[in-house]
Amino acid sequence: MNEKKLTALFGLKWNPFLPSIPEESLWEPPGINNFYFRIENLVIDGGFGLISGEAGLGKSKILQLLSYRLNQLGDVVVGVMERPQSSLGDFYRELGDLFGVNLSPANRYGGFRALRERWNDHIKNTLFRPILLIDEAQEMLTSCLNEIRILGSFQFDSKCLLTTILCGDLRLPERFRSTSLIALGSRIRLRMNLEGYDRKVLMSYLRHSLAQAGASHLMTEGLMETIVDSSGGNLRLLNNIAVELFEIGAQKEVKNLDEKLYLEVFSRNYQNLTSKV
């Protein structure tokens, strides 16, 4: 059964448990508004921000939400790096594409100057720093991370030409303890470290996701509580459980999803797993 048939069967606007949720309907975790307010100030002064946490806590969605919000501001230029693991040469090529600068791989110094001039002109015209968002930043080469620091530093580090938000798992803040990256780590002004969510927050997430998709009727209260209790504080695990129930419920053409379906699906999965051991 394809996605359109799935959503039509339950009368939904979209599947609330898949990553392809419209940006304007994304859930806002606790503390995000304060973090966003501080990033707005960072855009004026320039510098570094960091989003970190274990896998499955919604780091990338927070970065997507920030990108959406920042793009609503007038005169703000937001660049999103798509290949953080690039070599230094490809790193410069991508920066050139993001900020509209034609860079030659044979003249890296010329690219360095051209980027800084482009950013400086933007600041003079708008008073906002350009913004660079980097997801999966734990995969970046040390040389590229240090290049960002040097690129943005101007007039003996008295002026910052770029606002950079790094997002990654717990390996990323650990890397900033190393001698080679401590200079960058000491410049991170804003930090948001995500931890496992409590039951109340996860229920808020689940209710929001269902309501935004027009699916408040989809799950019984008991099932929502069961899913939350089974997710271990992890949004990705919660979504994976809900997706499986959603698909099997659609296959069975049930009107809504309940605890009986949960027990049927996951007791069967458990039995299949133990039978193979």
What three-state secondary structure class fits 171?
helix
The tokens of 52 are what? 């970190």
Whether the CB-CB separation of 63 and 79 falls below 8 Å is answered with no
Q: Give the pLDDT score at 10.
A: 77
**Separation between Cα atoms, residue 168 and residue 133, nearest integer Å:** 11
What letters, b where the CB count within 10 A reaches 16 and e where it falls short, cover 162-198? bbbbbbbbeebbebbeeeebeebbebebbebebeebe
pLDDT tens figures, 104-153: 767 888 889 999 999 999 999 888 899 999 999 999 999 999 999 999 99
d(CA 202, CA 214): 18
Question: Both tokens of residue 25?
Answer: 């309907």
Whether pLDDT at 164 is above 80: yes
- What pTM does this model have? 0.89
pLDDT in tens, 213-229: 998 888 999 999 999 99
Write out the residue limits of the CATH 3.40.50.300 domain(s) in the chain. 32-194
Fold designation for 32-194: Rossmann fold (3.40.50)
The tokens 């690219």 sit on which residue?
111
Give yes or no for residue 5 having a pLDDT over 90.
no
CB 69 within 8 A of CB 36: yes
Q: In the predicted model, what is the mean pLDDT of the chain?
A: 89
pLDDT grade for 274, boundaries at 50, 70 and 90: very low
Q: Could you give the residue range(s) of every CATH 1.10.8 domain in the chain?
A: 3-20+197-275
CATH number for the segment(s) 3-20+197-275: 1.10.8
- Burial string for 41-68 (b: 16+ CB within 10 Å, else e) reads ebbeebbbbbbbbeebbbbebbbbbbbe
203-214 pLDDT, tens digit each: 999 999 999 999
Q: CB 226: neighbour CB atoms within 10 A? A: 19
Mean pLDDT across 39-46? 90
Cβ count near 233 (within 10 Å) = 17
Run of H or E residues at 169: none
Which of 112, 163, 166 lies closest to 139 in space, CA to CA?
A: 166
